[in-house]
Structure 1
Amino acid sequence: MHDTDRDLLPEGLGDRLPTQATAAQRVRREALDVMARHGYARVETPMIEFEKSLASRMANVSVRRMFRFVDPLSLRTLALRSDITVQVGRIAATGLSRAPRPLRLCYGGQVVTVKGDGLDPVRERLQLGVELVGTDSVAAAAEIVEVAIEALAAAGATGISVDFTLPDLVDTLSHEALPLAASRVEKVRQMLDSKDAGGLVDVGGQAYLPLLYAVGPFDAAIERLAKFDVGGVLASRIAGLREIAARVGGKARLTLDPSERHGFEYQSWFGFMIYAENVPGSLGRGGTYRILDSEGGEGEAACGFSLYPDKLIDALAADAAPKDRLFLPLGHDADAAARLRAVGWTTVAALGDGDDALALGCTHRLDGGSAVAL
């Protein structure tokens, strides 16, 4: 019996062929270069860590999203990283605990989850991002939004838009301004998240209905949110959003959805999603959060963002123009070939008499020290 599936890959995993791999390299390089120019120092983290470490540095990180297995050396449970942010939090709290604050770090690498998100079956993704450790101020939040926009633009994204949210909105309102029984808080969050007005009334959250309409283009939505603000409990957050918008408004289209919670498991007062034209779904998210200490208690304030640019990579690869390639015949002038490579040419050297320049995808041929079009 023949093994017919030996070359199949598991669901949600795939190869990148040359055009895609080239686009991925460009996106990674351009985005990380932007982060570095803004003072973010590059760190690298292992693909595998102890499960306990990955699950204990950020609130609400689910180990169920991680591939887990037993380490044959320590006999402890290991996990494949599903989010590099938590690893950077560990670095900040341990190896760089004495480094001056605010601490700026950036990273890039692959992450893997047990299953995809919603209708997206992909289980391995490229994650790029920055973490600004030691503060979650408005100025810090504005900086990370600016860097995220600039990084995506440098990577090739166009028509960038940013959607702001307030992840702790229901917690803030339900404490005093619009009291809710503890058993209803999560239900109200879910109904707001799904934009279900009827469901919101059914779970006792009718006072929160105006939040469903405080969405859309930023200027109009923030005015509706300000009018809704009960007792001024959201005044500082609204002022913060206005300040961030003033700094980044000319660089991207801004919208507001103050009650959006999906994807903001550990963010605190501020969060954002980032999108680009002709790329389906979001390209990343970010916001403010806290890095838990070694005992699981509230530790340092921080903010940052994670970009997941795989769909942008696919779009760039699909639109990539063929690159000129220079065929080097047998016995070619090696010095001339080196000079042409130095000014940007890609060369393909013949290895035998049967090598065909056109079949190898070449557009030019080295002839007498010059590139001649085929």
Structure 2
Amino acid sequence: MTELHSSTDIVLPKGVKDFLPARAARIDYLRRTLLDLFHRWGFRLVLPAGLENLDVLERGLGPDLRQTAVRFDDRQSGRLVAVPPDITPQIARIAATRMHELPLPLRLCYSGRVLRHAEQQMGKDREIYQAGVELVGLHQAEADAEMIAMTVEALETLGAREFTIDVGQVEFVRGIMNDLDLEQDQLARLRDHIRRKDAPGLRDLLEELPLPDRRKEELLALPRLFGGRDVLEKAAAVVESTAARQALDNLYEVLATLETYRVDSWVLFDLGEIRGLDYHTGITFQAFLPGIGHAVCSGGRYDNLTARYGRRLPATGFTFNLLNLFFALEKELSAPALQRTDFLLFQQGRDKQKAQKIAAQLRRQGFSAARDSYPRSLPESLDYAKKMDYRYVMVIEEQSDQVELIRVDDEQKTSISVADIETGKIGLAIQRS
């Protein structure tokens, strides 16, 4: 006897979701649109493995991501394996170990799902859909600008009308902080106040620290160095560190290329940004849309990552979080992502061969077509077609050489001969209807 379960017993683990057809179509539209754009910029698709040996994967993971990897014993090898929590380290491994014979630069793109352990907080995703690019082998500022320009073009292509690209430079922060003669716990407290842009807390902390006034002035400026192009000029007036000034020169180079691409109006500079301080080696950026508190895209330069796999190559790239992007643009995606089936074929009686043959002909001509196999009346089939996003119901009579097309949106009717369907003239009939 089959055991019955309450629907409250059949639940998913926290942090993962099912997506039914309407939302799945939007997410797939995001994925396909981004991959098409990546291809137009010269990037080639790679499909990284969905499982990695943990010791190999961890070489490319920073401390934070290392803690999020979902790991388990592999009974075949006896080794610990993990589901990757991020795809960029996998691309670094592939570029360093599998693509020696190819000339540089490598323009690689990807789309896939990663899995992360996450704290059990409301709304915290463990399964993350990613799509991104990695440009490996170029150290020039133009490469960093290209990543930002691609991000802007992607958001515009997807229908975003309001967004910002927040650009930082980790070498600017490093240049200020690296020559501070402080204990590790003091540096950690400094980073925390800077990360939270807590100017009052930072000022109170600096009063306790044995630093020259000039150093304190540089550090106090960091939370305030956020805004447009004038931020770079303000930073130049404050900092003395040679490394920090070189980072500013790099930002000016990137800005010049963004002006050439005519995307600089979307850019804000955040010189107090310390995200990725232990991972990135230059430009960093995040894309934000209204109504969502998380970045929809994150990127930056990471020149040391491929060296962990035996081949040092400069690299930069970015990753879109497709779920963040989906929730930020759900309304804008309704029309372009709608996946409608062209024809629902309705035929009564026991012999359905005529409908089956017509459905096959329509598919060969590039249309989508399904036969309504469920026993119901024509009004019921029309109601079904409306709820399931069909464009037309095609009514077929066994003894007639004509079929009736009913447009689902307004139930307008037109007729077409079976012979015209066979000769590919169905498109003309649709245009007339």
TM class by shorter chain equals 0.7 to 0.9
SS in 2 for 1:329: strand
Matches for 1:200-219 after TM superposition, within 5 Å: 200-201=202-203, 202=205, 204=209, 206-207=216-217, 208-216=219-227, 218-219=228-229
Q: Distance in 2 between matches of 1:328 and 1:293?
A: 55
2:144 to 141, 145, 161: 141
Matches for 1:1-374 after TM superposition, within 5 Å: 3-4=5-6, 5-60=8-63, 62-115=65-118, 120-176=123-179, 179-183=180-184, 184-201=186-203, 202=205, 204=209, 206-207=216-217, 208-216=219-227, 218-249=228-259, 250-251=262-263, 253-262=266-275, 265-292=278-305, 299-318=312-331, 320-321=334-335, 325=341, 326-330=343-347, 331-332=354-355, 334-335=357-358, 338-339=361-362, 342=365, 346-354=368-376, 356-361=381-386, 362-366=390-394, 368-369=402-403, 371-373=405-407, 374=411
The answer as to whether partners of 1:163 and 1:255 remain within 8 angstroms in 2 is: yes
Q: Distance in 2 between matches of 1:103 and 1:231?
A: 34
Q: Distance in 2 between matches of 1:124 and 1:256?
A: 30
Task: Encode CA deviations 1:130-171: one digit per residue, 9 max, x unaligned.
Answer: 111122320111111112222333344332320001123332
Quote how far apart the aligned CAs of 1:206 are: 3.2
TM-score (ref. length: structure 2): 0.76
Q: Which runs of 5+ in 2 are unaligned?
A: 210-214, 348-353, 396-401, 412-433
Q: Which amino acid aligns with 1:364?
A: Y
Q: Distance in 2 between matches of 1:278 and 1:18?
A: 24
The answer as to whether partners of 1:32 and 1:151 remain within 8 angstroms in 2 is: no
Change (3 A) 1:135 1:342: same
Q: Which amino acid aligns with 1:214?
A: L
Q: Distance in 1 between matches of 2:273 and 2:250?
A: 17
Identity of aligned residues (%): 25
Change (3 A) 1:91 1:223: same
Q: Distance in 2 between matches of 1:193 and 1:241?
A: 20
Higher mean displacement: 276-285 or 364-373 = 364-373
Q: Distance in 2 between matches of 1:221 and 1:16?
A: 43
Q: Distance in 1 between matches of 2:328 and 2:365?
A: 29
Q: Distance in 2 between matches of 1:264 and 1:113?
A: 21
Q: Which has the higher contact order (CA 8 A, sep 6+)?
A: 1
In structure 1, the partner of 2:429 is: none
Quote how far apart the aligned CAs of 1:245 are: 2.5
Task: Encode CA deviations 1:49-69: one digit per residue, 9 max, x unaligned.
Answer: 111111103554632111111
Change (3 A) 1:94 1:211: same
SS in 1 for 2:317: strand
Q: Which runs of 5+ in 1 are unaligned?
A: none
The answer as to whether partners of 2:175 and 2:241 remain within 8 angstroms in 1 is: no
Quote how far apart the aligned CAs of 1:7 are: 1.7
Q: Distance in 2 between matches of 1:328 and 1:2?
A: 36
Q: Which amino acid aligns with 2:344?
A: F
Q: Distance in 1 between matches of 2:30 and 2:18?
A: 17
SS in 1 for 2:131: strand
The answer as to whether partners of 1:55 and 1:61 remain within 8 angstroms in 2 is: no
Task: Encode CA deviations 1:271-320: one digit per residue, 9 max, x unaligned.
Answer: 00012345542111111112446767882221111110213224554551
Structure of larger gyration radius: 2
Quote how far apart the aligned CAs of 1:357 are: 2.1
Higher mean displacement: 45-54 or 252-261 = 252-261
Q: How many residues align?
A: 370
Q: Distance in 2 between matches of 1:189 and 1:40?
A: 36
Q: Distance in 1 between matches of 2:328 and 2:165?
A: 19
In structure 1, the partner of 2:418 is: none
Higher mean displacement: 156-165 or 90-99 = 156-165
Q: Which amino acid aligns with 1:243?
A: E
SS in 1 for 2:143: helix
Change (3 A) 1:196 1:314: closer
Q: Which has the higher helix share?
A: 2
TM-score (ref. length: structure 1): 0.87
